[in-house]
Structure 1
């Protein structure tokens, strides 16, 4: 049964992605759908302030002979898709024609289809294959001593110049690597707690560390363990994991997404069947399991079970708070926090749970900034899109700079680093790290 909003208007709904159908990859059928949707977008233009897909589309139209979509060379349609990084914000916040509207516009998933067709026809460049293979890169770069060498090379101007020739912008922030990964750090922290179910939660969670968390931000795992154990929540890491598949999906490599699913879902399902809820420290990975995989594999009951057990970590803690189970014995005020709300968190439709929880800390003010950072994991790293990522991120960076807060935080570490550099502020801090600080742990 479809949910009804006030006034009897049906809430937006999302159709499954029919990516295993031959028609999905038919270039002529794709172009026909792109032309139909682009014509609607041309007459609306509400999304022009979002990513660069829409300015690219409108420039193609306005500079054509007819100044309509029929004047645009269909070969140029791909230029629009190349600027989409699947943030979903046009679907969730701007477009009035999403299903169940009769026009059924799902711009992000149409762009995904265009990416998938391009990938099937042409494959991907060595650079894009490498950037999206986070397991391989992270595994190699976190070998002891190798991590120190990699980090030093990434800071070297000469090396960065060589990397730029390979397609990685010399000014882009690249993550550091740590041989003491999150999975290595958190194992000694686990201790047996008696879980107490409350408000739909089981009281024990399995942490999917994610590629970025495991290889690039391992200390964050310690913050998660201390905060959740402070709240009497039993926490363990998922037994085995690989990349959630989001980088491959953004590339259009859906077969690789399937292979990642086939490795991750059994591991996650095993935890669910042991009574665990699931969390992850990066919003994109949470979104992958809560939305994208269920839409790619709508008939897989195991994917659905994992979806239903997956939570944003602050969503989880606020559910516990509603049930009176959150420890609010905070000992350290946090002052003013400029808080960037990541796009992949906004589109989960759970509200600003991170801000709500941090506001429970006495003498703490949280100012959310709800504009895209433009980073997207790889978009800000590539030579051809780095400057566009900077342009997209400047408005939120300006707000962060003007706020002059005690802390700048975001649930997405990559977005946070990008914004902090543009705003020229101190190193960003993850909200879970702030929460641990508030507990005095």
Structure 2
């Protein structure tokens, strides 16, 4: 079989566009149709190979082709197509930064959403482990592990080597993976009784000066200080703050599992609450990039005709995006009390693909005597990929260039907008006898302002 790239036309020079995800049609789950599309796209990718350095999905594909009898996609066993699907963790970088054949190009390549379709087919066919169902049920795990006393036991066990080896044996959780800590005093609890001191919020551009925090399951159960830091920084900048009335997981873990019905249930729980708060004059902010991306991109593509989903898409923001929009209107306070020295800053994949620029870097650069060394490489974590026994070592290999950059920077701090990526870097540094811990950009900004 000759590759389409043998006669390739110019790559797409326009901004990539995305077609809605036709996930509710029977054709979407048709095995024969899926494999035909996998073969078509794999053949295009084989002839191009621009994305080989992004993750392990592409090296897996190219190795399968190169080791086949024909050295073309037609020589690859169809059952091995799943090996590529399993390696993709939907970071979206290939679509947004590398691929020249995304729509509106006539070849219409959307590799991440094709991988998502494959995962959805596997899920519907019951080819998903109990482990994967459990670790993507973040609200359930968080509520149970966050019970007082239980959280202490869970955190202690997760640091115990003997326990971790048993967890590896019976659950397939790698013993060297850093597992998140759980807190009984959640992020929502820490700010629940807060009464905003801002009495006259000032709109600026797309922002209304009133923001409701969608804490996210990770920010709520695992990194509760993020809610506190965000509240303090925003109120220092004259932004009225409150909590989303209620929330559950945004659905990203279930999306990556291929459980699209669970994503729909999460949407049905979250969207009406957030849309109502928007109608009441609030903007929405969330401290984890993956959760913001879920509302900005994935849900609108799954539910393109839902006006409430579209409303939330227009009014949800990354915290630094929000602050820099206000800076553009002269409303960001620059009364910094402390310099931050040198920061090795990892720009998270799910932040980069939101196409808003590196707003975190831009803001931190405003702090006097502060230097930012920006690292635009994937950490390989993905929330669940890095903790699985079969993928952990690969994930650490993907992260190795990031760890090397952090070491080379000899910085005062290292940081990532994605707290999970920060801990992945921490894990890599531990292997090099470096015990420093990551500091989230919101924490660094609070320190720069001199806020306790």
TM-score (norm 2): 0.95
Distance in 2 between the 1:347 and 1:46 partners?
17
Map of 1:315-330 to 2, 5 A cutoff?
315-330=321-336
Give the corresponding residue for 2:5: none
2:196 corresponds to: 191
Contact 1:190–1:225, Cα closer than 8 Å, also in 2: no
> 1:167 aligned to 156, 159, 172, which one?
172
Among 82, 87, 111, the alignment partner of 2:91 is: 87
Indicate which of 222, 244, 254 corresponds to 2:250. Answer: 244
- From 432, 435, 447, the equivalent of 1:437 is 447
Does 2:420 align with 1:410? Answer: no
C-alpha separation between the residues in 2 aligned to 1:9 and 1:178?
Answer: 48
Deviations 1:107-155 (A, max 9, x none): 0000000000011012421100110000000000111111111111111
Q: Which whole-Å CA distance do the structure 2 matches of 1:107 and 1:78 have between them?
A: 14
Aligned match of 1:50: 54
Structure 2: 5+ residue runs without aligned partners?
1-11
Conserved in 1, the CA contact under 8 Å of 2:415 and 2:438?
yes
Residue of 375, 378, 388 corresponding to 1:382: 388
Deviation of 1:423 (Å):
2.3
Query: Shift of residue 319 of structure 1?
Result: 0.4
Query: Residues 31-72 of structure 1, C-alpha deviation per residue, up to 9 Å, x if partnerless?
Result: 000000011011000001011110110111111111111111
Shift of the 9–69 alpha-carbon distance from structure 1 to 2, 3 Å rule, reads closer
2:378 pairs with one of 360, 372, 381 = 372
Whether the 8 Å CA contact 2:92–2:112 is kept in 1: the answer is: yes
Alignment of 1:112-127 (within 5 A): 112-127=116-131
Which of 395, 401, 407 matches 1:395? 401
1:348 to 2:358 alignment: no
Does the 8 A contact of 2:286 with 2:318 survive in 1? yes
Cα distance in structure 2, aligned partners of 1:355 and 1:84: 28
Write the distance in 2 (CA, Å) between the matches of 1:369 and 1:10: 26
- Please report how far the alpha carbon of residue 188 of structure 1 lies from its aligned counterpart in structure 2 after TM superposition: 3.0
Match of 2:20 in 1: 16
2:236 aligned residue (209, 227, 230): 230
Q: Is the 8 A contact 2:177 2:427 kept in 1?
A: no
For residue 265 of structure 1, the aligned residue among 266, 271, 277 is 271
Q: 1:360: Cα distance to partner? A: 0.5
- 1:331 aligned residue (326, 332, 337): 337
- Once the two structures are TM-superposed, the CA of residue 302 in structure 1 deviates from its matched residue by 0.5
- What is aligned with 1:177? 182
Distance, in Å, in 2 between the alignment partners of 1:203 and 1:98 is: 37
Query: TM-score with structure 1 length normalisation?
Result: 0.97
1:9 is displaced (CA, Å) by: 4.6
Is residue 343–residue 414 contact of structure 2 (8 Å, CA) maintained in 1? yes
1:40 equivalent to 2:44? Answer: yes
For residues 217-264 of structure 1, give each alpha carbon's deviation from its aligned partner in whole angstroms, at most 9, with x where no partner exists. Answer: 001111111100000000111010000000000000000000000000
Separation (CA, whole Å) in 1 of partners of 2:407 and 2:215: 31
Q: Distance in 2 between matches of 1:224 and 1:127?
A: 33
Q: What CA distance in whole angstroms lies between the structure 2 residues aligned with 1:292 and 1:178?
A: 29
Distance 2:427 2:175 in 1: 14
Q: How big is the shift at 1:189?
A: 3.0
Distance across 2 between alignment mates of 1:437 and 1:191: 20
Per the alignment, residue 4 of structure 1 pairs with: none
Q: How far, CA to CA, are the matches of 2:361 and 2:161 in structure 1?
A: 38
**Following TM superposition, where does structure 1 have runs of at least 4 consecutive aligned residues deviating by more than 4 angstroms?**
none
Which residue of 121, 133, 136 corresponds with 1:129? 133
Partner of 1:111: 115
SS at match of 2:386: coil
SS in 2 for 1:350: coil
Render the CA deviation track for 1:200-232: whole Å, top value 9, x for unaligned. Answer: 210010110001100000011111111000000
Aligned to 1:157: 161
Cα offset, 1:190, TM superposition: 3.0
Deviation of 1:199 after TM superposition, in Å, equals: 1.3
